[in-house]
Amino acid sequence: MKSEADILTNINIEIKARSSDRNGIREILISSNADFKGVDHQIDTYFKVKNGRLKLREGNIENYLIYYGRENKSGPKQSNVILYKSNPESNLKDVLTNALETLVVVDKKREIYFISNVKFHLDDVKGLGTFVEIEAIDSDGSIGKEKLLGQCNYYSNLFQIKKKDLVAESYSDLLLAKN
């Protein structure tokens, strides 16, 4: 039986950008004493839904059913996220693929780092290239959107992310547009 601990609701302010300097960003994270969680090979299966986005993430570090709503705009944007911790051994993917139409599959290698409540991804996405993501996470409502936005902007400036490199869309949208 799943408990409330298996379901998390977060407000995130996040930035996604194309990155040609992952080594430089990695060095900044390491010198800032970021907590390196590892490299995760993730397969995200997106499903067609009426509102928002629904994906099943299968990885060696992270395994979640993720529902989120977010505007497609470049720069910092808010996501309202519901995470359901899934068991990789379960038949959840079979249930979802039989009940819903698969939209697209995103295959990526992701380095995961944390500094306090801010999560960093250095992503190599099959068919799209390399990216950096900054996610300032408020898991209990105690931080507030203004501080989250400030954290995103601080790290975006620290990493010297250029406005032209900001990405508005999700990886799923980018892959769908490419195909």
CATH number at residue 95: 2.40.320.10
**Confidence (pLDDT) at 77:** 86
Which of 76, 53, 93 is CA-nearest to residue 173?
53
**Confidence (pLDDT) at 5:** 54
This model's pTM is above 0.75: yes
**Confidence (pLDDT) at 2:** 47
Report how many domains make up the chain: 1
Mean pLDDT, consecutive 10-residue stretches, the chain (179 aa), reads 61 93 96 98 96 95 92 82 91 95 97 98 97 94 92 96 94 93
The range of the structural domain enclosing residue 98 comes to: 4-178
Which of 39, 11, 10, 6 is CA-nearest to residue 120?
39
**Confidence (pLDDT) at 1:** 40
**Confidence (pLDDT) at 112:** 98
